Amino acid sequence: MKRVWLILFLLSAGMVTHAKTWYVGNHQFYKTISAAVQAAANGDTIFVEAGLYHEKNLVLNKKIVLKGIGLPVLDGENKYEIISVKANGVIVDGFTIMHSGVSSMEDIAGIKIYDCREVVIENNKLDDTFFGIYSQHGTNCTIRNNQLKAYKEEEQQSGNGIHCWKSDSMRIIGNTITGHRDGIYFEFVTNSIIWRNTSFKNIRYGLHFMFSQNDTYVTNIFRDNGAGVSVMYSHSVKMFNNYFEENWGDGAYGLLLKEITDSYIGGNHFDKNTTGIHMEGANRIQMERNTFESNGWAMQIQASCMDIVVTRNNFIGNTFDVATNSSLVLNTFNNNYWDKYEGYDLDNDKIGDVPYRPVSLYSMIVEKNPPAMMLFRSFITSLMDKTEKVLPGITPENLKDEHPMMKRLN
């Protein structure tokens, strides 16, 4: 008898519970998504047919796949957080999320992840939400191929498009964000990647880093944002092959680096920004293979920066190549291409025989007296710069490229 019970126990332990599929729609048994979620179990899939759903706040507290067919609309009626994810392994795919609530006290989002792992949010359209997609203590989550659009004109009226707080190993891939306060915001986020996103016409920053370490962002486009991209109080950040474009305005820049250390910036394009890169308190930064083209200032490096290595970059068509606020420079420039270089190459090794000094006398005057920009392209400014090159006395003596390249680098 004991043997029989043992066999039955082993058979029952080996049984596999098959996941179920549920359907929601006007012609289905379940008319609301919340009713299907309540009926479902971990591992189940819920398909939602096209239509308009008023779910108030839809809480996903089971490991389920929520899949939209034909982009069904979840309307928060400008009152509610629309989807709250509170279980590991949830997938939300293919919905239109619109009209979330707005609050100055709570971070209300179109989709919010609460203390979960392995969540996937993909292929959704978020329209007129306060925060778009929000991760709070998320781990190893993927936010991919979503479109986020907001319409408010003031910072306090709008949240961030994709907001990650105290999260780890996040993957932010292929999203398009516009109209939010910040397109993408990282605070206390580690070991994460931001890849192939387009963030444009956001009120403040296309991307904003705060206190985030060991992160990488690669092949993103940050265009026409209020103040470009800001990376602050962080270390070990890698920035590859991104495009910083047309970030114009008072105090605007393609990339702001403030109190950042031990990082790498390579293969990026800075095109038509008021300032390509502005650095304050940056240390031990390697910059190579970047192109600075048609900016007001290509680079502004404050006296608080040191051990910045700038090598094999292109500087083309910028009003000013480099500006600084100090005569003491503890950074290195070498083997860059400067379109303003007027030197020669007698030994034909493709490297200039005389150093190039990228800081002009006029740029230092403008740094301390911005109204002096009214004299730009005047005869007197050209005369000052020519005189300074022959008899340098005001521009930093050791801020020079000893081996400038004669041709643009690929």
Which of 226, 253, 268 is a domain's end point? 226
Counting Cβ atoms within 10 Å, is residue 48 exposed (0-12), middle (13-18) or buried (19+)?
Answer: buried
Q: Do 184 and 293 fall within a single domain?
A: no
Range of the domain at 138: 18-226
In Å, what is the CA distance from 360 to each residue of 38, 328, 382, 390? 69, 15, 10, 12
Domain total for the chain?
2
Do 194 and 220 meet the contact criterion of CB atoms below 8 Å apart? yes
Asked, for residue 298, whether it belongs to a domain, the answer is yes
Asked, for residue 13, whether it belongs to a domain, the answer is no
Residue among 46, 5, 6, 7 at smallest CA distance from 28: 46
Q: How would DSSP label each residue in 272-308?
A: S-SEEEEEES-EEEEEES-EEES-SEEEEE-TT-EEE
Q: Do 69 and 210 fall within a single domain?
A: yes
**Residue 362: both structure tokens together:** 């006029």
d(Cα 84, Cα 114) in Å, to the nearest integer? 7
Which of 187, 211, 226 is a domain's end point? 226
Q: How many CB atoms lie within 10 A of CB 146?
A: 27
pTM for the whole structure: 0.89
Which of 188, 211, 226 is a domain's end point? 226
Q: Which residues contact 314 (CB under 8 A, 6 or more apart)?
A: 290, 291, 292, 293, 336, 337, 408, 409
Asked, for residue 365, whether it belongs to a domain, the answer is no
Q: Do 153 and 182 fall within a single domain?
A: yes
Instruction: Give the pLDDT of the chain (410 residues) as one tens digit per residue.
Output: 455 454 444 444 444 457 899 999 988 889 999 999 999 999 999 999 999 999 999 999 999 999 999 999 999 999 999 999 999 999 999 999 999 999 888 899 999 999 999 999 999 999 999 999 999 999 999 999 999 999 988 887 899 999 999 999 999 999 999 999 999 999 999 999 999 999 999 999 999 999 999 999 999 999 999 988 999 999 999 999 999 999 988 778 999 999 999 999 999 999 999 999 999 999 999 999 999 999 999 999 998 999 999 999 999 999 889 988 876 678 999 999 999 998 888 888 899 999 998 886 555 555 555 655 555 555 455 555 555 555 455 555 678 889 999 999 98
Q: Which residues contact 364 (CB under 8 A, 6 or more apart)?
A: 323, 324, 394, 395
d(Cα 323, Cα 301) in Å, to the nearest integer? 6
Do 146 and 125 meet the contact criterion of CB atoms below 8 Å apart? yes
Asked, for residue 386, whether it belongs to a domain, the answer is no
